[in-house]
Structure 1
Amino acid sequence: MKKINDSHNHMKRELSNRHVQLIAIGGTIGTGLFLGSSRSIAFTGPSIMLVYLLAGTFMFLLTRAMGEMLYMDPSQHTFINFITKYLGRPFGFFSGWTYWLSIVFMGMGELTAVGIYFQFWFPKIPMWLIQIAFLLMIMSINLITVKFFGEAEFWFAMIKISAIVALILTGIFMVAVNFKTPVGHASLVNITTHFQLFPNGWMKFVMAFPMVFFAYQGIEFVGITTSETKNPRQVLPRAINQIIFRILIFYVGALLAIMAIYPWRSLDPKQSPFVWVFKLLGISWAAGLINFVVLTAAASALNSVLYSSGRHLYQLALDSKGHFKKTFAVISDKGVPARAIMFSALVVAVSPIIYSIPTINDAFSVIASISSGAYLLIYILTLLAHRKYIQSSDYLPDGFLMPKPKILDPLTIAFMAFIFVSMGFQSDTLPAVVGTTIWVVVFGGYSWLKHRN
């Protein structure tokens, strides 16, 4: 087996297996599950579980492809480097900056969510003040040490997991005692009665896939932490292999519990199912409890955004020349890319300014949705790089191998392409398809002309 090349990795390896396991969970659980599950269920009923399973399986295969390359060379700070190495500099340059911008826009969205959730309790505090205060706090967590980041993310994830486990246990209890609800009784019959694969038509079933994909977006963060773990080749396979089980337990388990408690056609798409399930138990402060959980989920996502965007900007600087490299390819005494983290946070801080200008709100939403479309392109390029890797001299036959890559790589690429096409079926995601296409033509063309030689 090849030795780990650590010659360019000056970051401290302070993340333990405990940290990475919880970061992996945090990367697959977003605010969408707590707030948007009713809306996704309303799309296609109980068959939404099949959508989550299919999407989750392909996202798992994506992480296995990333994991195999990172296992071969865990000194890399980002999987984008493999795109550069195996597909060429134009694709790497395009992917590096596209991915960094996508993460930053994701951070802007999460920062806005933090402000909204915090105003639930303190409506008189200005939104911009809440956002800046939270951003400074999360940036400080990232600047102290990577171990401190891991510890914060561990507890953020624990809060999210506790809420989901509580919902699942509540569902089991209600079904077991045939709990009476305002519209009937809690029972598995609520799921199986008149079950249809396409209760609202096949188009709604297809349109549910982009929604579910967005819930999984960011699942690759677990791979980015590899270069800062103490035993990367021991920790990485364990963390990635358990992703599929977490998907089954947390996503499918939560949806199963919700639909068993309440007939799915009676759900209010605008209300969080977590809130009313806990209210059925007599918890009057359920809304405040779930608001705390989603606030934690948004803070966790913002924490991961600054961690990941800082590492990516550091790597972009490391691979560049001149003043940009001297400024951002720097590691602090704490062993973190402090300047890259602070610059990423500064760009995220533009969010309060944008949201304070009413005429720009819609434009910002379009840009944010374009970043989601760009994510699909990055994932496809990563899978193409993986195909090149297994044909290269770097291939590690005794490494962390993706199963049946000659079959599953093309299948996963086809699934990502299917998600991109299905985004064109909805008015709120159509701008992402158009905008991403324009971005590929303009910035992709620039990247090719700049680095074709």
Structure 2
Amino acid sequence: MKEKSKIRMNADGTKRELSNRHVQMIALGGTIGTGLFLGAGTSITKTGPSIIFIYAIIGIFFFLMMRAIGEMLYKDPSEHTFIAFISRYLGPKIGYFAGWSYWLELIFIGMAELTAISTYVRFWFPNIDAWMIQIAILVILAAVNLIAVKLFGEAEFWFAMIKIIAIIAMIVTGIIMVTTSFKTPIGHAGLNNIFEGFKFFPNGIVNFIGAFPMVFFAFQGMEFVGITTAETKDPHKVLPKAINETIYRILLFYIGAIIVIMAIYPWQSLSANQSPFVQVFALAGLKAAAGVINFVVLTSASSSLNSFLYSAGRHFYQLASESQGTLMPKFKSVSKSGVPAKAIVFSAALIMLAPVISSIPGIENAFTLICSATSDLALVVYLLTVIAHYKYRQSIDFDPNGFVLKGYKWIDPALISFFVIIYLSLFFNGDGTIPAIAGLIWCIGFGLWSAREKSSATIPTSDNEKI
């Protein structure tokens, strides 16, 4: 009984209560987001069938990044975030920059998700004020995160299940429509809708390149599965399985869904302003398509916000753990239920500013810009994480019997080049140019500040005890 207690409790008081099914569904939920349900229409209209190639390429690179993160977390599953490895292998000052940048990104994107959730709820209840919906939703999700990590896992399990059912329902519906040459108001369903008159750059190479960052950010959040490692019952068994199966999820749920959408609905006729799922189900004769997909997108956004809050709490806890200042260590505490409660509450309090910011006249565009700029910072943090992995492989910490990423000497440089190319591609997308510049300004300004920062602790590089 005593041994079981050791397995379920970490040295810092956090509990290992996430089971295999929780982590598998969190991994799946992190892979599938509103980028697919709402944003896929815009990507398809930009590039046509070539979007399949873009999803495949970016999916493969995300998978390789997850393998790099997974190798480090397998070595030390006690870490709450992959940012800790940036501090360990690239130095505390770079870790300070990455930690705060990534945490702020989570907060601002959480604000954006909370704002979106109120819009989805008002689809059915237009007379309720948005701020009331936002406060109610955030209080509920904060409570889910504060009560116990197992409750968070259960919530994410069912959120992800709804998304999976919606995608599988569309894929099955699409296969039936294609195999029966189902007649729709705009033609017949069939693979010829994809390949007839195929051109690799139907709207020009600029639109093709501009679709890369859109698809990239649709995959963002996949790394959240790694953040669950410190609170997973059997990380050495669960983590490799969850990460290795990522590639199959990409093939089925992203590429499979995109192929079905274009087979049913000729891509030239798709509207970029409406969910492609709504358009497909409407063609299939589902009159309540808009309402059904709105419910799915609502649960998807709620799932994202739940995960962002979970991740933000753990990242702020990590920042507090690495800080030598006077204020931050006060957030380095764990509640009786085994969660970093103060860090979660503080992160939730900042996300709660979303309704306040949204209500200020003339501030909405600035808010959108900040969300976009901080989202772009994920590219920088991913890049630093891969560099940290390269350093890990050359350090005495490397475990040749662990969850080894073979060929790291060419994979890591390829990943670094990929992230640089994606950042440059932002300048080919009219909406991405200003946020990309804002992100660069942040990197230079906050980077210089971080270089002078003296409150971050040096992280030891000695071996950590395996769980």
Normalising by the smaller structure, the TM-score range is over 0.9
1:94 is aligned to 97
Deviation at 1:325, TM superposition (A): 3.9
1:343 aligns with 2:355: no
Query: What are the residue-to-residue correspondences of 1:188-207 with 2, within 5 Å?
Result: 188-207=191-210
Q: For 1:216-275, what per-residue CA distance to the aligned partner results, in whole angstroms no more than 9, with x for missing partners? A: 111100000000000001000000001111001001011100100011101111121211
Contact 1:34 1:273 in 2 (8 A): yes
Determine the structure 2 residue equivalent to 1:74. 77
Q: How many residues end up aligned between the 2 structures?
A: 451
* 1:292 and 2:295 correspond: yes
Name the residue aligned to 2:186.
183
Counterpart of 1:260 (choices 260, 263, 273) is: 263
1:374-433: CA deviation from partner (whole Å, max 9, x where unpaired): 100000000000000000000000110112100010001111100100101222111121
Tell me, in whole angstroms, the C-alpha distance in 1 between the residues paired with 2:361 and 2:258.
36
Tell me the residue number matched to 1:391: 394
Q: For residue 358 of structure 1, what is the aligned residue in structure 2?
A: 361
How far is the alpha carbon of 1:78 from its aligned partner? 0.7
Distance 1:79 1:185 in 2: 48
Q: Is the 8 A contact 2:185 2:283 kept in 1?
A: no
* CA positional deviation for 1:321: 2.8
State the alpha-carbon separation in 1 of the partners of residues 36 and 136 from structure 2: 26
The answer to whether residue 382 in structure 2 is matched with residue 379 in structure 1 is yes
Q: Name 1:37's counterpart in structure 2.
A: 40
Report how far residue 322 of structure 1 moved. 4.7
Q: Which amino acid aligns with 2:451?
A: W
Distance 2:313 2:283 in 1: 43
Deviates more, 1:265-274 or 1:211-220: 265-274
Counterpart amino acid of 1:286?
A
The 3-state SS of whatever aligns with 1:358 is: coil
Contact 1:116 1:127 in 2 (8 A): yes
The partner residue of 1:368 within 360, 368, 371 is 371
Counterpart of 1:313 in structure 2 is 316
Aligned twin of 1:221? 224
Checking the alignment, whether the CA contact within 8 Å between 1:9 and 1:76 is kept in structure 2 is no
**Which residue in 1 is equivalent to 2:145?**
142
1:231 aligns with 2:200: no
Query: What is residue 125 of structure 2 aligned with on the other side?
Result: 122
Q: Look up the SS of the partner of 1:299 in the other structure.
A: helix
Instruction: Percent identity, please.
Output: 57
Provide TM-score, normalisation by structure 1. Answer: 0.97
Q: Deviations over 1:267-297 (max 9, x none)?
A: 1111212112222232211111110000000
* Superposition CA RMSD, Å: 1.6
Unaligned runs of 5+ in 2: 1-6, 459-467
Any conservation in 1 of the 2:10–2:16 contact (CA below 8 Å)? no
What letter corresponds to residue 189 of structure 1 in structure 2?
A: N
User: Residue 155 of structure 1: CA displacement?
Assistant: 0.1
Q: Amino acid of the residue matched to residue 37 of structure 2?
A: F
Q: Aligned partner of 2:95: which letter?
A: G
Q: Matches of 1:7 and 1:279 in 2, distance apart?
A: 50
Q: Secondary structure at the match of 2:327?
A: helix
2:413 aligned to 410, 415, 425, which one? 410
Q: Does 1:49 align with 2:60?
A: no
Deviation digits for residues 34-55 of structure 1 (CA, Å, limit 9, x no counterpart): 1122111001000101000000
Deviates further, 318-327 or 86-95: 318-327
In 1, Cα distance between equivalents of 2:244 and 2:76:
18
Per mean C-alpha deviation after superposition, the further-off stretch among 338-347 and 429-438 is 429-438
Output the TM-score relative to the length of structure 2: 0.94
- Consecutive unaligned residues in structure 1, runs of 5 or more: none
The 8 Å contact of residues 314 and 340 in structure 1, kept in 2 or not, is answered as yes
- How far the C-alpha of 1:7 sits from its partner, in A, is 6.5
The equivalent residue for 2:304 is: 301
Q: What residue in structure 2 maps to residue 443 of structure 1? A: 446
Tell me the SS of whatever aligns to 1:359: coil
Q: After alignment, is 357-366 or 121-130 more displaced?
A: 357-366
Give the secondary-structure state (helix, strand or coil) at the position aligned to 1:27. Answer: helix
Amino acid at match of 2:452: L
Question: Does the Cα contact within 8 Å between 2:313 and 2:347 map onto a contact in 1?
Answer: yes
- The structural deviation recorded for 1:358 is 2.6
Counterpart of 1:154 in structure 2 is: 157
Q: Larger deviation: 377-386 or 314-323?
A: 314-323
Stretch deviating more after TM superposition (198-207 or 340-349): 198-207
Q: Which residue of 2 aligns with 1:14?
A: 17
| Alpha-carbon distance in 1 for matches of 2:326, 2:147 | 25
Quick one: distance in 1 between partners of 2:25 and 2:120? 23
Give the drift of 1:197: 1.3
Distance in 2 (alpha carbons) for counterparts of 1:7 and 1:263: 53
1 CA distance for matches of 2:179 and 2:327? Answer: 62
Q: Tell me the equivalent position of 2:463.
A: none
Deviations 1:103-135 (A, max 9, x none): 111100100110000000000000000000000
Aligned counterparts of 1:126 and 1:149: Cα–Cα separation in 2: 27
Q: Which amino acid aligns with 1:112?
A: T
**What is the alpha-carbon distance in structure 1 between the residues aligned to residue 222 and residue 254 of structure 2?**
14
Mapped to 1, the partners of 2:72 and 2:12 lie a distance apart of: 16
Q: Provide the rounded CA distance (Å) in 2 between the counterparts of 1:92 and 1:356.
A: 35
Deviation at 1:69, TM superposition (A): 0.3
One-letter amino acid matched to 2:116: A
Distance in 1 of aligned mates of 2:12 and 2:210: 42
2:134 alignment partner in structure 1? 131
Give the distance between the partners of 2:114 and 2:363, measured in 1 at CA. Answer: 17
Q: Distance in 2 between matches of 1:275 and 1:96?
A: 38
Question: Which moved further from structure 2: 137-146 or 428-437?
Answer: 428-437
> Residue 330 of structure 1 is aligned with which of 328, 333, 346?
333
Partners of 2:136 and 2:323 in 1: CA distance: 33
Aligned to 1:10, what secondary structure does the other structure show? coil
* Amino acid aligned to 2:403: F
Q: 1:400 corresponds to which letter in structure 2?
A: F
Aligned match of 2:66 = 63
Question: Given residue 49 of structure 1, which amino acid in structure 2 is its aligned partner?
Answer: I
